[in-house]
Amino acid sequence: KAGVTQTPRYLIKTRGQQVTLSCSPISGHRSVSWYQQTPGQGLQFLFEYFSETQRNKGNFPGRFSGRQFSNSRSEMNVSTLELGDSALYLCASSARGGVEKLFFGSGTQLSVL
Amino acid sequence: AQKVTQAQTEISVVEKEDVTLDCVYETRDTTYYLFWYKQPPSGELVFLIRRNSFDEQNEISGRYSWNFQKSTSSFNFTITASQVVDSAVYFCAHESAGANSKLTFGKGITLSVRP
């Protein structure tokens, strides 16, 4: 069974640009959640999608958005990038979400210059 | 709000030593879950264990063992006879049961096992 796949692996953008990150969950998993990891703030929850609906959201500004498609693949978008958005963005999937164990991808390392 | 504290930031041991990673949590919930994840250099977090708040039975799995004590709000993780491949960042996390639950992670502990 293929694991969680995130693309691209690395991304370099400049301030003010926007970026879209992609996540393909494990086959059969309907829940996808996103996390931001930085040296200062650690791992922080961004949002969770289940069956194309956002089920939960963390404390991030509206510049951070996401969506989930009917095949459970998910995208995360960040508009008007700021230097502080530089981080490793991790996607995780599970069958139903909630308090299940999560399967993580290797992440997308975003650098904002 | 939930909070997870991993007071140790970096631990370095020599191979075959035992090492304990500490985790203390704060919560007002009566039903919740605690997790440990491992993040090797490749980046992806790997699930190690999940315990619910009603199950304080300690667990041993191979070289790994976990000590959950509600009285002290701690969920510590011990690696026996550490190996170089155990080198990683270890995260403790908390999640409440119920709708709108989300995983709250500690800051992580970087474990280096030297040969």
**pLDDT (tens digit per residue) in A47-106:** 999 999 999 999 999 999 999 999 999 999 999 999 999 999 999 999 988 788 999 999
B41 has pLDDT over 80: yes
**CA B3, CA B79: separation in Å to the nearest integer?**
24
Q: Half-sphere exposure of residue B80, counting CA atoms within 13 Å on the CB side?
A: 7
Which of B11-20, B31-40, B73-82, B99-108 bottoms out in mean pLDDT, i.e. has the lowest? Answer: B99-108
CA distances from A74 to A77, A82, B56 (A): 10, 22, 36
Interval B13-29 mean pLDDT: 96
Measured in whole angstroms, the distance separating CA B59 from the mean position of its chain's CA atoms is 13
Which chain A residue is nearest to residue B50, measuring alpha carbons? A101
- Number of A/B CB contacts below 8 angstroms equals 52
Report pLDDT for A57: 92
Element (H, E) at B60: strand B59-61
* B49-82 pLDDT tens trace: 999 998 887 888 899 999 999 999 999 999 999 9
- Check if the beta carbon of residue A47 is closer than 8 Å to that of residue A56: yes
pLDDT of residue B58: 82
Helix %, strand %, coil % for chain A, to 5?
5, 55, 45
B91: closest chain A residue by CA: A43
User: From CA B43, how far away is CA A102, in angstroms rounded?
Assistant: 14
B99 pLDDT higher than 80: no
- The pLDDT confidence band at residue A46, using thresholds 50, 70 and 90, is very high
pLDDT value, residue A30: 95
Cross-chain residue pair A56–B108, CB shorter than 8 Å: no
Calculate how close chain A gets to B70, using CA atoms only, in Å: 19
Between CA A85 and CA B101 the distance in angstroms is 24
